[in-house]
Amino acid sequence: MEALLSPPVGRRDRRYVRRGGRIERGLSPFSFRTGTQMNWFKHNLTALFVVNLFFVCFGIEAHAGEAKIPKSVVSLAPSVTETLFALGLGDRLVGVTNYCDYPPEALKVPKIGDFISPNIEAIMAKRPDLVIGVSGATDLQKTKELERLGLKVVLVSAANLNEITNSMKSIAGLLGNEAAGKRLVMKINAQVSEVKKRVEPAPRRPVLLLVGVRPLIAVGGKNFIDELITLAGGTNIAGNAGQPWLNLPDEYVVAKAPQVIIEAGMGSEREASSKRWEDLKSIPAVRQGRIYSYPSDKILRPGPRFGEALEELARLIHPECFNFANNQRNGESRCESPRP
């Protein structure tokens, strides 16, 4: 700073100053008889202004950054609620949807309406610092209304694994705990890598994943569940569809001959499911008894249980890759197709 503000060598200005009772000629600090002195003043006045502006702005920004960390959050999606708890930030939740039932602690958080159309009045009553929803799932009209009323709303994307993990890091960053986000993502990536290593030697099996049986409502393409099936060593027989969900005619399923059928959260439809497949015994999965029921909340939510759901799905598709006694030797995965 001292070097920056050192004056240039210039002519003495013949001004008289009093020093110790004597009159002497000396430099006048505000006299600019030379262009060099004038340029020096202009240059360093600008520098001083920029330096001071930097420190003032930096101080304001730092202070504002601290003040912006949300202390109260409303979640508009079960996956967001699960993410906050997985990050160790569940105590900041002041409102969640009626469908936010995991972990068990989420049941204790006040409800603000359903997943599709949350209650604006209930949310406003909580006066949250931040509202978090999921792009493509949360009602945009509702979010715009919340923003118009002065609330900060953030929508995270969750179409695939990359977007899911990025959303976790984003949420952690917004809440001032980036380290927790990195740890969670590292854990999920490690789970994914382990499953991929185990199923890599195995042949890909055609898989049908359903969320309804009358009619057959299947998981299509362009969503994270389709990616789950692929990572688990399967091929989604409806994966080429240009939509995430679709009704499938029986003829299509018979033609695609899935070797594994997974019913996500059938619940009351289980009896109907059993009767449904009696007429379709030509399908390999039906003939071999490879129709499995799986909890819908774990597989249909793009949240922190992605890695856990992936391993369990892979065990259903390729159980032979997870038999430690027979298929692990010297730390290597050995997948062999089971005998028919």
**Which residue did the predictor score with more confidence, 330 or 296?**
296
**Confidence bin at 64 (pLDDT 50/70/90):** very low
CA 307 to chain CA centroid, Å, is 14
Please report, as a single letter, which amino acid is at residue 310.
L
188 & 87 share domain: yes
215 & 303 share domain: yes
- Asked whether residue 55 is assigned to any structural domain, the reply reads yes
Classify residue 193 by burial, with Cβ atoms within 10 Å: 0-12, 13-18, 19+: exposed
- Asked whether residue 197 is assigned to any structural domain, the reply reads no
| Number of other residues whose CB lies within 10 A of the CB of residue 126 | 17
- Asked whether residue 12 is assigned to any structural domain, the reply reads yes
- Asked whether residue 277 is assigned to any structural domain, the reply reads yes
From 17, 50, 68, give the residue that closes a domain: 68
Q: Cα–Cα distance between 119 and 143 in angstroms, integer?
A: 11
Q: Please say if the pLDDT value at position 76 is more than 50.
A: yes
| Number of other residues whose CB lies within 10 A of the CB of residue 296 | 14
Model pLDDT, residue 17: 42
Q: Please say if the pLDDT value at position 249 is more than 80.
A: yes
| Number of other residues whose CB lies within 10 A of the CB of residue 47 | 13
Structural tokens at position 112:
């603000």
pLDDT tens, position by position, 264-316: 975 555 666 778 898 899 999 999 999 999 888 999 999 999 999 999 999 99
Model pLDDT, residue 57: 40
Question: Looking at the 3D structure of the chain, how many domains does it have?
Answer: 3
Q: What is the mean pLDDT of the chain?
A: 81
Structural tokens at position 2:
């001292």
Strand 130-134 and strand 332-333: the pairing is unpaired
- Which secondary structure element, helix H or strand E, spans residue 73, and what is its range? strand 73-75
Model pLDDT, residue 267: 58
Average pLDDT over residues 82-104: 98
**Three-class SS state of 90:** helix
107 & 34 share domain: no
CA atoms within 13 A on the CB side of 192: 17
Model pLDDT, residue 36: 40
pLDDT tens, position by position, 104-151: 999 999 999 988 889 999 999 999 999 999 998 888 899 999 999 999
108 & 33 share domain: no
Distances (CA, A) of 234 to 85, 88, 256, 316: 31, 33, 13, 10
Q: Cα–Cα distance between 11 and 6 in angstroms, integer?
A: 15
pLDDT tens, position by position, 7-38: 334 434 444 344 444 434 443 333 334 444 44
CATH classification at residue 316: 3.40.50.1980
Please report, as a single letter, which amino acid is at residue 311.
E
208 & 276 share domain: yes
Residues of the domain holding 64: 2-68
Contact 214, 296 (CB under 8 A): no
Contact 114, 120 (CB under 8 A): no
Model pLDDT, residue 26: 41
Residue 214: CB partners within 8 Å, gap ≥ 6? 269, 272, 276
**Confidence bin at 233 (pLDDT 50/70/90):** very high
